[in-house]
Structure 1
């Protein structure tokens, strides 16, 4: 590693976060990215008992749709081993159409735990014709993305290099061409001088370098990355990163113990 580890938030809202990570090689950063997809525990519907289904949706398709509804919950509350702490949550659905057709929505799922619910109440489950009914019991349990995609806490997990833009000759004859070729907001050409306005907005397209290689240089550093995380809604994006680090450290500690045993 070429420098001390530094982590800073570039952009953030309720479902997305962009983080700059400096000081670790791309292999380490990519391991963190992969752990967010495959090793972070989340809660999802895993088994369904169909009590009544006269809708046009087959039972197995209905169960599959329910499994893909993201749930807002604290996965660490449920151990998954059915020991001292609870290992699953019961959710009941009983929907029937009257004289008019209607759509059954995720908000109609009634959970035995008020802390466990769909991230949105407006996710369509099935359409019912007049008189049709769906009645079922769904059981949600903790799992990980490596087991099935329904347990992935992220819809997007992307790692890319942080752009480093340097002006070599601010008064070059073609400096204006470099600014014109670049996407808006990265370079600024004013009063005959080329300046870097915001290198973070650079997409690494290299158009500015092609337009005027003597005026500007764009580089990637092997230990400087942008990690973009988009949550499906069940867990806040920054907490997903924290949980991924926690799971990664736990597995590294387990590996260390196993190696020590081999060395004895």
Structure 2
């Protein structure tokens, strides 16, 4: 059975798979590692820093010395904790270590805080500072209503957060490798004259399974490769309408050649030089089935999805480039498989 899922106007066909052991008498469909190696391949269609699917640095502790803005302390701390940061790869991967944190059980809070302070070193804690105040702009025109022109520091952005290296951190995080926000234009707060924010922050290295703020992935998804098969010629104005049924770039046009127009039974007889619809890039299709709604295309097009061709899409928050994210995710998957393998061996004992 062909590995194509049929996409009809109201139904989906060929969704069940029969390629597994014991389904057909005398036919072996057991999974084979060697066969998988021969058929499996990965194609990188585009590789951009922010769009290609881990450990990271995120603000964990915020010490508020002064906050006279309209944002409550706890809300400000939450906003600061969600600002994504990046730094030199060598420093983040090799130098920074995991920071041990104890679970809060509501008891011995003072003692635990003192113990945590004694466990913060240059290899597990990043110190950041945000000290900013809003003042009036004396050079602004009289009656100016734009706060960005009337005041200084009316808006507080992620770029206002300062990195304060200590110990050996300057060796790994300096120049272009310094710790800083992935997007400097993230709005943190709005201030007016007389208001200020004075906070110190401690950022630690963590993983996404501990908290979403440590994850470098914004959105990760996958879909099956769409297939579009033109069964009969679609010409002229119908071809233009057919192209509008799909996202831009999926369907294109070609001129009907003289050879095609002379071939009997081709459907192009007498249409030499006219535009015909052709499939350019089915990967851009969203399988909306729009073309199946129109009578003029009935029996002329067949939609489907390849059941064993997966298209993954991963959006990076900015700390990791897309290719590095993929390789790191493979490492994590291998670690989980090894852990499962060891647990299975333990169960047998």
Q: TM-score over 0.5 for the alignment?
A: yes
Matched, 1:76 2:140: no
RMSD across aligned positions (CA): 2.9
Corresponding residue for 2:78?
64
Matched, 1:167 2:245: no
Give the 3 Å change call, closer, same or farther, for CA 108–170 of structure 1 in structure 2: same
Compute the displacement of 1:176 (Å): 4.2
Q: Which moved more, 1:235-244 or 1:1-10?
A: 1-10
| Matched-pair contact (CA < 8 Å) for 1:46–1:139 | yes
Matched, 1:135 2:198: yes
- Structure 1: runs of 5+ lacking an equivalent: 18-35
| Matched-pair contact (CA < 8 Å) for 1:178–1:216 | no
- Of 91, 96, 100, which residue of structure 1 is paired with 2:128? 91
| Matched-pair contact (CA < 8 Å) for 1:170–1:215 | yes
Compute the displacement of 1:50 (Å): 1.1
Corresponding residue for 2:218?
155
Counterparts of 1:1-264 in structure 2, within 5 Å, are 4-17=39-52, 40-73=54-87, 74=89, 75-77=92-94, 78-81=96-99, 86-100=123-137, 101=151, 102-111=154-163, 112=165, 113-114=173-174, 115-170=178-233, 176=239, 179-180=242-243, 182-183=245-246, 184-188=248-252, 190-191=255-256, 192=268, 193-211=276-294, 212-264=297-349
Give the 3 Å change call, closer, same or farther, for CA 209–99 of structure 1 in structure 2: closer
Corresponding residue for 1:21?
none
> What TM-score, normalized by structure 2, do the two folds share?
0.62
- Give the strand-richer structure, 1 or 2: 1
Compute the displacement of 1:88 (Å): 2.0
| Matched-pair contact (CA < 8 Å) for 1:178–1:215 | no
Tell me, in whole angstroms, the C-alpha distance in 1 between the residues paired with 2:243 and 2:315. 32
Q: Which moved more, 1:140-149 or 1:73-82?
A: 73-82
> What TM-score, normalized by structure 1, do the two folds share?
0.79
Tell me, in whole angstroms, the C-alpha distance in 2 between the residues paired with 1:85 and 1:209. 62
Give the 3 Å change call, closer, same or farther, for CA 51–176 of structure 1 in structure 2: closer
Tell me, in whole angstroms, the C-alpha distance in 1 between the residues paired with 2:310 and 2:64. 47
| Matched-pair contact (CA < 8 Å) for 1:178–1:209 | no
Tell me, in whole angstroms, the C-alpha distance in 1 between the residues paired with 2:301 and 2:81. 51
- Secondary structure of the 2:42 match is strand
Compute the displacement of 1:171 (Å): 7.0
| Greater Rg over alpha carbons, structure | 2
Q: How many residues matched?
A: 243
| Matched-pair contact (CA < 8 Å) for 2:99–2:205 | no
- Secondary structure of the 1:12 match is coil
Compute the displacement of 1:201 (Å): 2.1
| Matched-pair contact (CA < 8 Å) for 1:175–1:215 | no
Give the 3 Å change call, closer, same or farther, for CA 93–185 of structure 1 in structure 2: closer
| Matched-pair contact (CA < 8 Å) for 1:178–1:207 | no
